[in-house]
Amino acid sequence: MTEPVDSAPTASAQDNAPAQPPSQPATENPPSQQNLPIRDAKTAKDKGPAQSDKQPAKGKDAPAPAAGTESGAAAGGDKPLTPAELKKKAKADKAARRAKEKIERDGGAGAAGGPASGAGQARPPATPRKDVAPGGAAQKGPKAPLLRRGSHGGGSAAVEQKKKKEDKSVAVFGHLYGQQRRTTVAGAGKEVHAAVLALGLQLRDYVVCGSSARCVATMLAFKRVVESYTTPLGTSLPRHLTTHLSHQITYLSTCRPLSISQGNAIRALKLAIADIDPSTPESAAKNTLCEFIDSFIREKITVADQVIAESAAQKIQDGDVIVTFAGSSIVKQTLLQAHHDGKQFRVSIIDSRPLFEGKNLARALANAGLDVQYSLVHGISHAIKDATKVFLGAHAMTSNGRLYSRVGTALVAMSAKERAGGVEVPVIVCCETVKFTDRVALDSIVVNEIADADELVSANAAQQVTGLPDPAAFTAPPIDPKKPKGGKSASSAPTPDPVSSERVPSPSPLASWKDTHNLQLLNLMYDATPAEYVDMVITELGSLPPSAVPIVHRMSTNM
Amino acid sequence: MATPTDSTAAAGAKPFDIVATYNELLRSDPDLTMPIAAIEALVLLLTHEPSSTISETLDLLAKSTAHLKKAIPNPIGLSAGTDLFQRYLITTLQRPGQLGPAGDFKAIRTHLLSNGRLFIRRAKESREKIVAFGRGFIRDGCTVLTNGGSRAVASLLQQAADEEGGPSAVRFKVIYVLSSISKDIEGPSGEPEGMETVRALRAKGVPVSTIPESAVAYALGKADMVIVGAEGVVENGGIVSRMGTYQIGLLAKAIGKPFYVVAESHKFVRLYPLGQYDLPIEQHVVDFKTEEDIAQKSKQQAVDSNADSPVELPLEDSVDFTPPHLISALITDSGVLTPSAVSEELIKIWF
């Protein structure tokens, strides 16, 4: 496959690169090609043709890391480098560094020493080859990673590990596995404000969770950013602040993908920044922006929530049984408002693993004096049996009227609409217009968010009362710092008492899922509920059918 | 706060009774729809009441509207008119220009009133527009099933019939569903609603068959389409209409016949019912009784007949709600709309 590519540099290299002994036995070539790992083959494809096209005359420079440094060193030994060559060498070094970083990311610690040691060890076998080969084929960029790879002993382990990891992503959702979520603030740019750093980790750990809460928290953090911002010399605030903000935004999005509401808020803020006249004094401009942020939060979230809660509460009548899913803040506000209005109704909360957001809602409503029933999503058919209305929160509403919300919402809506042998139950969505998007969702596959699959593993085991010495039945929760907040707040699940804890806690059966063959865990965050399952969307602008979402979105963004 | 508002209300109620005016308007002009009558009553109120400030005007309007809504058993139709008028007033008053808040209020007032009349005239013209849009739906040789006493439907059918013999001769038949509930005690000979239209159509040579409501499913096989009127078009595109429309809609859906609604755009109401029992109306269509209850009720009626119980909709005036998924299209004066386009129209009016 690399054969046709080889020919061009071979000819040119002979002219321009005397430093490299132009020799490689033809017999050696095929095995080395077989050695090409998949990823390197890709680089070969990318870089090989480009190089052969563009730089036939200067074929000696190697864009790939190891060969680049090596050839540079070799060249340096023979004759002084021209500035252009130095530049190229620097470039190659950079590429090497990048490749190394990439390997560290991809292959884990096993491959850490890869490039350096690999290049060193690669020398002896490579040199004789070059002596015999009828061209500088070894110089070719694509070959360099091959050398690195083939040599180091830990390499195979790294590859194995990598392969295993790839297996663990569910194929249909492969496009959603982006980079790993950031786990520390290390490596964040120096431009990132402390408030944003903290917020990023809070978002990651679901301390700040829920579309509205994330939006508000982001805006407040950005207010801090704006407050502490000083325009550098030689630029103007409207021009520079946007780029400064985008550093913060990039950091936030590496912690957890941004929500639709965050995106809308950021877009509004950027528009507000762009609207500022460059001649405005900095303090005045910053005041304007802070006021903008405050009024954005007030208008789009705080007051909007009140309006929605009031109008949604009017839809609740005496004797209703309200079913809701997970823990939406706006639904909570609605139910509390209705209770405050003196309505007599019951609430049935349906919750799901692994976030258990409904537990907080259940507690809050029960504390307020409401009649609350709590069940998990597998009890849906039972819970929906005597429901009269379904209230749902939203992560976003798409332009085709679909509701994009916590995974499981679609199931609840469908159960309500297709209830066997009963009148269908109205499904009401409470959603601020800031969560409307002009995107279209046809399913939950194309656009979604995948959370750490380990969240599914760590679950509190049921308390064992009988004390049977069965280690399989007793599974103490592994102490997992990554455990979501919802799980921790599960105060209802009692902590293991000292007597039982002296038994050896056996981990959850899923704990070793990464080492189990043919086992993949999928932890999706959202799903899309078809518009037919939604009867009504209550926004701060009024009640709408889901088909009116794009119109309202257009109007609310144009204003 | 109580005294000034009470006095305004009293002042508004004594020399000018909005409820009586509204009822009188409806009685005097059979062509008048409820929203238009409400608007006309409000315009008359404004001409009678010497209000001198904007807020006073709006306050008076809000109070009279509330009063009117409370007094009328089915306020859905009229609330479309009052809401529209109020909205119209507010936007006119807020609009900057020569009539802006700084201008002479008297000028604003006369402007408002003359515009209010214009509003009424335009609303009355809308029926002709509907006919223009809807004429194409009635094709040669088709059979239309309709019900109730909608003036919009009647004028559409009559206009279509008028063309017979003309250049675009449309020959069509009508199946008219007549309500079995005895209707209109004070009306002429207590005949069911819609008989007048039936007679008018027959006079124009259109073959009309009248069937009871129980025969709708049986007769639908012979019909090509269903055209009904509406009392109000609600935000999700459904309609509030004469009792029995919902079942016709369900049957038409089941049999696969198109179900068209003819309604003026001033009948669009800012209301979002979630189902049959979510309407802001007190009606007891389903009323469970035992012998004991009946005896008790007659006794109670004898005792306090003059107690002011909440206004209840009489059975023959009861309405039901036809959800949007049963409606093929709405023929309105702003065009032929799908149910989902109604909310778009409403949003355009309200935001």
Query: What pLDDT shows up at residue A361?
Result: 92
Residue of B nearest to A314 (CA): B278
Beta-bridge mates of residue B329: B260
Q: Tell me the nearest-neighbour CA distance from A280 into chain B, angstroms.
A: 30
- Write down the pLDDT at residue A463: 59
B343·A536 Cβ contact <8 A: no
Name the percent of chain A in helix, strand, coil, to the closest 5: 55, 10, 40
HEC profile for B44-106? HHHHHCCCCCHHHHHHHHHHHHHHHHHHCCCCHHHHHHHHHHHHHHHHHHHCCCCCCCCCCHH
Q: Would you call B340 an interface residue with chain A, using a CB distance cutoff of 8 Å? A: yes
CB A261 within 8 A of CB A434: yes
Contacts of B236 in chain A (CB under 8 A): 535-536, 545
Reduced to 3 states (helix: H, G, I; strand: E, B; else coil), residue A298 is helix
pLDDT at A143: 40
Residue A202, helix vs strand vs coil: helix
Interface ipTM > 0.90: no
The verdict on domain B2-125 having CATH code 1.20.120 is: yes
* Contact: A535, B274; criterion CB under 8 Å: yes
**Looking at the predicted structure, is the pLDDT value of residue B330 above 60?**
yes
Contacts of residue A423 in chain B, CB cutoff 8 Å? 275
Confidence band (pLDDT; 50, 70, 90) for B45? confident
Pick the CATH number of A317-445+527-558 from 3.40.50.300, 3.40.50.920, 3.30.420.40, 3.40.50.10470: 3.40.50.10470
* Same topology between domain A194-305 and domain A317-445+527-558: no
Helix (H/G/I), strand (E/B), else coil: A450:
strand
User: Under an 8 A CB cutoff, do A543 and B235 touch?
Assistant: yes
Among B87, B246, B268, B272, pick the best mutation site for testing chain A contact (most A Cβ within 10 A).
Answer: B272
- Taking an 8 Å cut-off on Cβ atoms, the answer to whether B343 and A547 are in contact is yes
Instruction: For residues A143 and A355, give the distance between their C-alpha atoms in angstroms, rounded to a whole number.
Output: 48
Q: Which residues contact A370 (CB under 8 A, 6 or more apart)?
A: A335, A336, A339, A345, A346, A347
Tokens describing residue B258: 């198109």
Task: For residue A73, give Cα distances in angstroms to A77, A139, A258.
Answer: 6, 13, 46
Between chains, do A389 and B274 touch, taking CB under 8 Å as contact?
yes
Query: Region B281-309: what's the mean pLDDT?
Result: 75
Q: Is A220 exposed, middle or buried (0-12, 13-18, 19+ CB in 10 A)?
A: middle
The CA distance from A196 to A216, in Å, is 13
Characterize the bridge pairing of strands A320-325 and A345-351: parallel
Per-residue pLDDT tens digits of chain A, which is 559 residues long: 434 444 444 444 444 444 444 444 444 444 444 444 444 444 444 444 444 444 444 444 444 444 444 444 444 445 555 666 667 777 777 777 776 666 655 544 443 343 444 344 444 444 444 444 444 444 443 444 444 443 444 445 455 555 555 567 887 888 888 777 777 777 777 888 999 999 999 998 888 888 999 999 999 999 999 999 888 888 888 888 999 999 899 999 888 889 999 999 999 999 999 988 888 888 899 999 999 999 999 999 999 999 999 999 999 999 999 999 988 999 999 999 999 999 999 999 999 988 889 999 999 999 999 999 999 998 898 888 889 999 999 999 999 999 999 999 999 999 998 876 667 789 999 999 999 999 898 888 888 888 888 888 876 555 556 555 555 444 444 444 444 444 444 444 444 444 444 455 556 777 788 888 888 888 888 999 999 999 999 999 888 899 889 888 888 877 5
Instruction: Give the gap in angstroms from C-alpha A324 to the nearest C-alpha of chain B.
Output: 17
Of the partner residues B274, B275, B343, the one whose CB lies closest to the CB of residue A544: B343
Cross-sheet strand order for the sheet of A526-529: A396-397, A403-406, A526-529
- Rounded Cα–Cα distance for residues A436 and A264 (Å): 8
Strands B329-332 and B335-337: antiparallel
Block residue for tokens 């981990």: A507
CA distance B340 to chain A (A): 6
How high is the pLDDT of residue A262? Answer: 93
Residues 337-396, chain A: which have Cβ within 8 Å of B? 389
Provide the whole-model pTM. 0.71
Q: Which has more pLDDT, A290 or B193?
A: A290
Cross-chain residue pair B235–A551, CB shorter than 8 Å? no
Q: Which CATH number among 1.10.1060.10, 1.20.120.420, 1.10.260.40, 1.10.10.10 corresponds to the domain A194-305?
A: 1.20.120.420
Q: How many CB pairs under 8 A join A and B?
A: 41
Query: What integer pLDDT is reported at residue A268 of this predicted model?
Result: 92
Interchain CB distance below 8 Å, B340 and A545: yes
Residue A425's φ and ψ, nearest 5 degrees, are: -95, 130
CB–CB contact A551 B275 (8 Å): no
| Spans of all domains in chain B | 2-125, 138-281+315-350
Q: Is B174 helix (H, G, I), strand (E, B) or coil?
A: strand
Closest CA to B322 of B267, B250, B219: B250
Q: Which fold has domain B138-281+315-350?
A: Rossmann fold (3.40.50)
Which pair of structure tokens corresponds to residue A150?
A: 């083939």
- For chain A, domain boundaries: 3-165, 194-305, 317-445+527-558, 458-509
Tens-digit pLDDT profile for residues B93-104: 766 555 555 556
Question: Using CB atoms, which residue from B275, B278, B344 is nearest to A548?
Answer: B344
Query: Does pLDDT of B306 surpass 70?
Result: no
Helix (H, G, I), strand (E, B) or coil at A520: coil
Q: How far apart (Å, rounded) are the C-alpha atoms in residues A497 and A488?
A: 17
Cα distances (angstroms) measured from residue A215 to each of A203, A211, A260, B95:
11, 6, 9, 35
Does B238 reach chain A within 8 Å, measured CB to CB? no
**A37 touching B (Cβ < 8 Å):** no
